[in-house]
Amino acid sequence: MKVDVLNTSGSVVKSVDLPDNVFAVEPNDHAIYLAVKAYQAAQRQGTHKAKERAEIKGSTRKLKKQKGTGTARAGSIKSPVFRGGGRVFGPRPRNYSLKLNKKVARLARRSALSQRAASGNLRVIEDFTFSGPKTKEYATVMDNLKVADTKSLLVVGDYDQNVYLSSRNLEKAKVINVNELSTFDLLAAREIFISEGAISKLTETLA
């Protein structure tokens, strides 16, 4: 699969071959669903907690006599029917993470990449860097690529601190390393740019 390579000015400088076994596979929608579900589940902290009846601090004496009051019987101030009482089946801390097989996770990423490549929302850009963290310079690059007002994702092969920090203050821009790339990231962005140096690493990881 041959695609054009852009520079930071938005001009086509050459073309490159993308391996079909990563960027042109038959998409598996169920694998994508499982990967996104596992990603979103892992984002949940699971630290929710409410005190139940046994955890409430208070007296254990019987509030009133069993019969003859004309109202419902009551045996404890900790009862859920009273204000300040324990909660019935309240939330407890738990781990929401889901197990996802490595092969399924790789298939999901290949499927997402193939979908984006087929729709024309995946492009290749030359490797670039900045002399320092400059948000304005990264914004200029996005403007040259005509994605300044679009949610974009740049996938790089090696972590570049200057490029990463330059994008961090832009609401619709995100830079991510190949090793951290998830199916959710590929679906969340409208325009995806892959640096030349990331292609070989993607192929090595996903093929």
Residue identified by tokens 């914004």 is 139
156 within 8 A of 141, measured Cβ to Cβ: no
Mean per-residue pLDDT for 129-144? 93
Q: Compute the distance between CA of residue 191 and CA of residue 97 in angstroms, rounded to an integer.
A: 28
Q: Compute the distance between CA of residue 85 and CA of residue 110 in angstroms, rounded to an integer.
A: 52
Q: Among 74, 95, 116, where does a domain finish?
A: 95
202 and 104 in a single domain? The answer is yes
73 and 36 in a single domain? The answer is no
For residue 110, what are its two tokens?
A: 């290949």
50 and 27 in a single domain? The answer is no
Q: Report pLDDT digits (tens) over 152-169.
A: 999 999 889 999 999 999
190 and 109 in a single domain? The answer is yes
Q: What is the structure's pLDDT at 1? A: 81
Q: What is the structure's pLDDT at 2? A: 86
**Count, residues in the chain:** 207
109 and 137 in a single domain? The answer is yes
- The count of structural domains within the chain is 2
183 and 84 in a single domain? The answer is no
For residue 182, what are its two tokens?
A: 């998830």
122 and 87 in a single domain? The answer is no
Q: What is the structure's pLDDT at 190? A: 94
7 and 37 in a single domain? The answer is yes
Mean per-residue pLDDT for 120-134? 92
Residue 60 has pLDDT above 90, yes or no: no
33 and 103 in a single domain? The answer is yes
Q: Compute the distance between CA of residue 92 and CA of residue 47 in angstroms, rounded to an integer.
A: 8
88 within 8 A of 52, measured Cβ to Cβ: yes
Collapse the DSSP code of 169 into the 3-class scheme (helix H, G, I; strand E, B; otherwise coil) and give the result: coil
Q: What is the structure's pLDDT at 87? A: 95
57 is in which domain, residue-wise? 45-95
Q: What is the structure's pLDDT at 194? A: 95
Q: What is the CATH number of the domain that holds 160?
A: 3.40.1370.10
Q: Count each helix (H run) and each strand (E run) in the chain, helices first.
A: 7, 6
Q: Report pLDDT digits (tens) over 68-115.
A: 999 999 999 999 999 999 999 999 999 999 999 999 999 999 999 999
120 and 53 in a single domain? The answer is no
Q: Report pLDDT digits (tens) over 165-206.
A: 999 999 999 999 999 999 999 999 999 999 998 999 999 998
For residue 160, what are its two tokens?
A: 């570049």
Q: Among 95, 130, 157, where does a domain finish?
A: 95
14 and 25 in a single domain? The answer is yes
Residue identified by tokens 């589940």 is 41
38 within 8 A of 102, measured Cβ to Cβ: no
Q: Compute the distance between CA of residue 192 and CA of residue 172 in angstroms, rounded to an integer.
A: 12
Q: What is the structure's pLDDT at 207? A: 80
132 and 39 in a single domain? The answer is yes
For the entire predicted model, the pTM comes to 0.83
66 within 8 A of 79, measured Cβ to Cβ: no
